[in-house]
Amino acid sequence: MIRPRASGLERQRYWTAFVFLLPATAGIVFFFLIPIVQALRISFFDYALLNPEQTFVGLANYRQAWKDPVFRVSLNNTLLFTVALVTLQTVAALILALLLKQKVRGLGFFRSAFFIPVVTSLVVISTVWKLLYNSQGFINSVLRTLGAGPQPFLSSPDQALMSLVVMSVWKDVGFYMLIFLAGLQGVPEELHESAAIDGATRWQSFWKITLPLLRRPTVFVVVVGTIAAFKVFTPVYLMTDGGPAESTMVLVFYIFRTAFRYFEMGFASAMSFILLGIVLVLTLVQFRLLRAAAEY
């Protein structure tokens, strides 16, 4: 195809676009494109940071991941963490949004209270909760006051992962609540009123009217929550170090440990690409579901 020569005006526009895009494009090339290509390369090499020698090993790192029992445990724990977290936080966020949707006084106060953990750093929250969960900590004190026995929480292989889930719900639920609140603004009050006149109970009108109209925000909350949950790292690093007995060993933490404590960059890169594969599948599912929800 022969392009007509750019007119003076067009040339000015191209030139401006070039200048405007240059810094951002340079950033993406140097800190996204080049590293990701490099990572893919490294994942086929036996590459230890302390040893300058790199040997091509093909798919050996990926096979190693597949056979590595710790990798399997971490994948398993990540899945468990994700399913529990997403379920709890989605339901909790919807409940909070519905409570605030009632015409309450002090709406601003309650909304801010639920949202403050979202703007607090995960490092601080993990630190404070580590003490809340302590055997002599605040939560056990409340339990004892209520007449229940003290719980081991983080020091028990059975409870540690779920303790992290509860803390994560507490941190993020306010964010997802806002998404539901925005979605609820779009549910017209008249629908409920006319349903009520037709004799619908409140419960029926919630299931038949509110919930279907919340499809889009729900899909968003579930998928964004799933991707975020898959990347959990900070609480594990600060609160459990993957233990006890690897019960909180999750994918990103295991990758971090492999890369930055044992310096096995090749193996860690291969595991990173497995993580990327999972995230890409989840993202594709998100686009599919969001499109379906938009058509609904």
Partner 1 sequence: MRTGHHGQGIVTDAVGVPAAAKLPWPILQRGAEQMLLYLALIALAAVFLVPYLWMISSSLKPAVEIFQHVYPLSWKTFIPQAPTFDSFRELFRLVPFPFSRYMFNSVFVATTVTVLSLAVNAMAAYAFARLPFPGQSVLFAIFLSAMIVPFEVLAIPLYLQVRALGWVNTYQALIIPWIANPLGIFLLRQFFQEIPRELEEAARIDGCSYFAAFRHVVLPNSVPALVAFALIRFQASWDAFLWPLIVAPSAEKRVIQVAIASFVTEVQTRWDLTFAASTMATIPIIVVFLILQRYYVQGVVMSGLKG
Site for partner 1 in 51-80 (CB under 8 A): none
Going by their DSSP bridges, the two strands 45-47 and 54-56 should be labelled as: antiparallel
Contact string (CB under 8 A) for partner 1, positions 272-291, x = contact: xx-xx--xx--x--------
- Residue 31, interface with partner 1 (CB under 8 A)? yes
- Residue 16, interface with partner 1 (CB under 8 A)? yes
Largest CA distance in the chain: 83
Considering only residues 225 to 264 of the shown chain, the ones binding partner 1 according to CB under 8 A are: 227-228, 231, 233-234, 237-238, 252, 255-256, 259-260
Of 59, 83, 91, 113, which one interacts with partner 1 (CB under 8 A)?
A: 113
Taking the least distance from each CB to partner 1, the nearer of 247 and 267 is: 267
Taking the least distance from each CB to partner 1, the nearer of 158 and 204 is: 204
Of 59, 131, 148, 245, which one interacts with partner 1 (CB under 8 A)?
A: 131
Stretch that binds partner 1, among 52-60, 67-75, 81-89, 115-123 (CB under 8 A): 115-123
Stretch that binds partner 1, among 26-34, 59-67, 68-76, 151-159 (CB under 8 A): 26-34
What are φ and ψ of residue 47, in 5° steps?
A: -130, 105
- Residue 192, interface with partner 1 (CB under 8 A)? yes
Taking the least distance from each CB to partner 1, the nearer of 14 and 56 is: 14
- Report the distance separating Cα 256 and Cα 260, nearest Å: 6
- Residue 91, interface with partner 1 (CB under 8 A)? no
- Residue 36, interface with partner 1 (CB under 8 A)? yes
In angstroms, give the least distance from the CB of 227 to partner 1: 7
Of 83, 124, 148, 281, which one interacts with partner 1 (CB under 8 A)?
A: 124
How many residues bind partner 1 (CB under 8 A)? The answer is 103
Stretch that binds partner 1, among 34-42, 51-59, 66-74, 154-162 (CB under 8 A): 34-42
- Residue 148, interface with partner 1 (CB under 8 A)? no
- Residue 211, interface with partner 1 (CB under 8 A)? no
Q: Residues 109, 192: contact at Cβ < 8 Å?
A: no
- Residue 81, interface with partner 1 (CB under 8 A)? no
- Residue 44, interface with partner 1 (CB under 8 A)? no
The identity of residue 262, as a single letter, is Y
